Structure 1
Amino acid sequence: MSALKKFISETIKDAMRAKDKLRVTTIRTILSECKKIEIDERIELDDARVLAVLDKMNKQRKDSHQQFLAAGREDLAEIEHNEIKIISEFLPAPLTDDEVGEIVKAAIAETGASSMQQMGAVMAIVKPQVQGRADMATISKQVKAQLG
């Protein structure tokens, strides 16, 4: 079991003892998503893959939060916001724009990329380094800016 998944499993026990229903439900959802992937693909998730699951869940909740706000459903938006906070506890600290820029520069230097046709190679190197720590749309913009 990955260290991150083990930490999440331990955290749910604390949430159960504290009788924090939203926290228990959110953490159960995280573990359920991880278990679903493990069963479907017949693998044991490592920390990088658990981070990818957390990142995806966080993004889904942010999208839902925006949609609920646009529809005037503040009650549901608040639930999504609280779930985002809980999921974010398990994600590493976000990268600053400068840190992302440095990672992108290093990836461009490593691949020797000089045009937009090589963007995929740069993104393949950058993505594992920033998973769960930066939005991929932001990364893509930085890569385009540095290559273009």
Structure 2
Amino acid sequence: MGMDQKMDLRSRVNTALKQAMKDKAAQRLSTLRLINAAIKDKDIAARTAGGEEAGCISDAEVLAILGKMTKQRQESARAYEEGGRLDLAEREQQEVEIISEFLPKALDDGEVTKAISEAITATGAASIRDMGKVMGELKGRYTGQMDFGKVGPMVKDQLCAASGGQC
């Protein structure tokens, strides 16, 4: 991931923001502004911590923010649906769709299984105690491309199988 890719995600958000202004697309504009604000907050935090170059967070961190924003909205939409507020649920879903445009394509089950195997090999994980290492590797490579809540049990299963069923 070079600098150009880091600029890529930010510039994609900014380009979309400018376009939404031109189109007078209010809902889209407000969602894109929320994304931008979240990125800027993280930049400031990184700068304060004396982190990455001049406080510009990496693409992986931007993806983590987008993933978190998506998850929050999906949970809100579910809560609104249960509460019978379909108008609000729909608005949350529209925000999810807008945010998802900037996330890489989600991996299918086969790709997830393969990614887990590769992460186990890369980390040299041998038992369930190495689960954290494997999850860290996956989050570093595939943020925004897989649901880590669902991936956890799959990692556990593969590690158990690899250690001869000792879990």
Fold similarity call, TM over 0.5: yes
Indicate yes or no: 2:19 matched with 1:7.
Answer: no
Equivalent AA in structure 2 for residue 84 of structure 1: V
The alpha carbon displacement at 1:102 in A equals 0.4
Indicate yes or no: 2:47 matched with 1:39.
Answer: no
Unpaired runs of 5+ in structure 1? none
Q: Using the alignment, how far apart are the partners of 2:17 and 2:118 within structure 1? A: 38
Of 106, 117, 121, the match for 2:118: 106
Partner deviation per Cα, 1:127-148 (whole Å, 9 max, x = no partner): 1121001111121121011112
Q: Using the alignment, how far apart are the partners of 2:8 and 2:76 within structure 1? A: 29
TM-score, L = length of structure 1: 0.95
Q: Which residue of 1 aligns with 2:23?
A: 18
The alpha carbon displacement at 1:111 in A equals 2.5
8 Å CA contact retained: 2:46, 2:57:
no
Which range moves more in the overlay, 121-130 or 50-59? 121-130
8 Å CA contact retained: 1:2, 1:46:
no
8 Å CA contact retained: 1:12, 1:28:
yes
Indicate yes or no: 2:61 matched with 1:49.
Answer: yes
Q: Using the alignment, how far apart are the partners of 1:70 and 1:41 within structure 2? A: 38
Indicate yes or no: 2:136 matched with 1:124.
Answer: yes
The alpha carbon displacement at 1:27 in A equals 0.0
- Larger RCO, structures 1/2 (Cα 8 Å, 6+ apart): 1
Q: Which residue of 1 aligns with 2:148?
A: 136
Partner deviation per Cα, 1:70-120 (whole Å, 9 max, x = no partner): 111101000000000000011011100110100101111222322211101
Q: Using the alignment, how far apart are the partners of 2:25 and 2:83 within structure 1? A: 28
Indicate yes or no: 2:40 matched with 1:28.
Answer: no
Indicate yes or no: 2:64 matched with 1:70.
Answer: no
TM-score, L = length of structure 2: 0.85
- Kindly name which structure, 1 or 2, has the bigger radius of gyration based on alpha carbons: 2
8 Å CA contact retained: 2:115, 2:138:
yes
Share of identical aligned residues, percent? 41
Q: Using the alignment, how far apart are the partners of 2:7 and 2:79 within structure 1? A: 34
Query: What RMSD over aligned residues (CA atoms) do the two structures have, in Å?
Result: 1.1
Q: Using the alignment, how far apart are the partners of 2:58 and 2:20 within structure 1? A: 24
Q: Which residue of 1 aligns with 2:108?
A: 96
SS across alignment from 1:92: coil
Q: Using the alignment, how far apart are the partners of 1:107 and 1:136 within structure 2? A: 14
8 Å CA contact retained: 2:17, 2:33:
yes
